[in-house]
Structure 1
């Protein structure tokens, strides 16, 4: 089977969803060629996908322009979707040419409405899989603006051109889509390790992972107080030397998923990848809210149903005045109750529908 998969690079969440699905598919059926369309750097893409593939380094969708990891640029979002609507025929034609070039038997999308329209025009089976869709994210920011309804309806129509949209929990409402197929969560999980021993720390000791996702969100730790018997693991860019009770996670030679699976607490923002990885690991969360992100209420409600999940303020994160929150959160680790079986659900459905030669 020849597979073409378009993946948004709006942070790491879409890669975190796509990687288990592609892996499951490669384990279940012979893949003659795999093409990944994504504007992630080749090295980043290779980190998520070990199976041999061809990389089309082309943006799949407009996404949502951001000022930083927490703040959307509403005006730029509106302008970009205006331009996409105006250029829609030409953009679809370019995608059709890409699909003709690779001649796939199956198109997967996370999460490009124009890709499913191009696939439908060429009569190629196409399925979306995601926890959100850009139509309802756009509507959350731009409803009420001139011709916003026309843009929304066009996006929904293109999403509905796919043979199905696998909706990954925790998901936002998708009232404009008519081809939804609900499955279980999708994520990768880590392995059990004794990180305290590996890092040569004295017990009792708490490990707190600080992971703000794939978009930059600078934090100045220089004014943070020392936390008793606590080490923070930070993987973001930091221009100064980290304080003594911090370790840079990228220098530890320990996979991020293993850190997530074995740490006592994670400090993060609401986002599919980290939230679901934490839920499937039983890891407690302190989160910095994004407030206006349309998907956020459903992410938080789902997370609070599955594991410990409490809000912190930007001021507390800035000053490090989190002793009480960290102390309480570190005692809340639970046995995970969420099983990430969504990739299996998706591939089961694909194989039953397409009936390819094994």
Structure 2
């Protein structure tokens, strides 16, 4: 039997029409989708992105490929995990929102099926909302999950009651409609693909954004001396306030270090002589990571892949109820990167200095295993192969 990979892109006589659904829960999904979409566009295919993420993430693609790339901004097509703060899940509210979404999803699904059919798509990519898997199946379009986890596994890890587990089962049933899986590094078990068959699954290297400017250029633009030690703090959902015990806010930094606090605003940018805010929307995040000596942030795919790809140590705080973190730490950071865990108590108290110094020291004591950072090439070829197979079958059926 032929597999999807037996249909290379060379067999496509005309550009494919690809729908790419991207969850709005976490920028890491959108940034890695951006890399794969860029590759698909470079091969000459048409991509329609459906997502609720801020449009600036895809702005360059929409500008450079104005005739072949579209952004379809929609409301939430999937409920995510609700957080009480930067590192803690609100289980009750998360499950309430999941229940409400599942109970009302049929109307949304019907509209999406109509849209898919009206656009004559060849293949649907999912990173990684679950309802579009059912939608694609009903529209008779093959679907491909491109991810390191699925949200049913995330919900299952925090489910507490029988009704919670029933919601997880409904979520899993939607993912089961997906036809193929492209699995990314740092993965955890994906319930809808309990076994990996070469016919339906593909493991790829890192799909990751890379720095666009040299370290020296970025530092000069930020006013950071080239010889200074600098930590980049990327902790969405956490407002860096007093560092605890009555110390100044910049005392989170080791002596002599400077720090940049990334966020969606640069209001009140100066936090001290050695610490200031920057508006990350104005910068290419991999440039900032590449310019830093240490990153302090959440252990999500976007951050982990980018620090690994640029060889920058990460100080991360364990997050309660985030099952994907285990895969990222055990299967990516521990093997291919530099990582130091900071307990939540020290994080909130502002006792960061020791962890930052330990992370920096890892570069002199550890040699990570290399990992390729061109996973988008294999991923795009697989997507094109699936689309070509579907188009071939459709053309045969029409004869």
Tell me what 1:243 maps to.
272
- Identify unmatched segments of 5+ residues in structure 1: none
Decide whether aligned partners of structure 1 residues 69 and 103 sit closer, same or farther in structure 2, where only a CA change above 3 A counts. Answer: farther
Aligned mate of 2:302, from 255, 270, 273: 273
Query: Are the aligned partners of 1:206 and 1:330 in contact in 2 as well (CA < 8 Å)?
Result: no
Deviations 1:130-150, CA, capped at 9 Å, x for gaps: 1110111111111x5234444
Question: Structure 1 residue aligned with 2:259, among 220, 225, 232?
Answer: 232
Task: Give the superposition deviation at 1:229.
Answer: 2.9
Q: Contact 2:254/2:354 (CA < 8 Å) preserved in 1? A: no
User: Are the counterparts in 2 of residues 279 and 337 from structure 1 also a CA contact under 8 Å?
Assistant: no
Within-5 A mapping of 1:1-358: 1-31=16-46, 34-46=47-59, 50=63, 51-52=65-66, 53-142=70-159, 144-178=160-194, 180-191=201-212, 192-194=214-216, 195=218, 199=222, 201-202=224-225, 204-212=227-235, 215-220=236-241, 222-225=248-251, 227-236=254-263, 237=265, 240=268, 241-250=270-279, 255-302=284-331, 303-333=333-363, 337-355=370-388
TM-superposition CA deviations, 1:265-308 (whole Å, max 9, x none): 10011111001100111110111110321111121123121122
Shift of 1:219: 1.3
Runs of 4+ more than 6 Å apart: none
Q: Deviations along 1:155-206, whole A, 9 cap, x unmatched? A: 2232121221212111111234355432222111114322555555556421
* Equivalent-residue separation in structure 2 for 1:338 and 1:96 (angstroms): 39
Cα 1:260–1:126 shift into 2, 3 Å: same
Change (3 A) 1:81 1:203: closer
CA contact (8 A) 2:21 2:129 kept: yes
More displaced stretch, 246-255 vs 96-105: 246-255
CA–CA distance in structure 2, aligned partners of residues 155 and 177 of structure 1: 14
CA displacement at 1:323 relative to structure 2: 2.7
**Residues 1:41 and 1:352: Cα distance change in structure 2 (over 3 Å):** closer
For 1:251 and 1:87, the matched residues in 2 are separated by 35
CA displacement at 1:218 relative to structure 2: 1.2
For residues 245-275 of structure 1, what are the alpha-carbon distances to aligned partners after superposition, in whole Å with 9 as ceiling and x for unaligned? 1233338965321121231110011111001
Q: In angstroms, what is the RMSD of aligned CA positions?
A: 2.7
1:186 aligns to what SS in structure 2? coil
Q: Which moved more, 1:269-278 or 1:250-259?
A: 250-259
Moved more, 53-62 or 310-319: 310-319
Paired with 2:133 and 2:281, the residues of 1 have a C-alpha distance of: 41
Gaps of 5+ in 2: 1-15, 195-199, 243-247, 392-399
Verify the 8 A CA contact 1:37 1:59 in the aligned structure 2: no
Deviation string 1:62-83 (CA, Å, 9 cap, x unpaired) is 1222223322221122222222
TM-score (norm 1): 0.88
TM-score, normalised to structure 2, is 0.79
Deviation at 1:317, TM superposition (A): 3.3
Number of equivalences: 352
The answer as to whether partners of 2:123 and 2:383 remain within 8 angstroms in 1 is no
By how many angstroms is 1:312 displaced?
Answer: 1.2
Q: Is the 8 A contact 1:224 1:319 kept in 2?
A: no
2:397 aligns with none
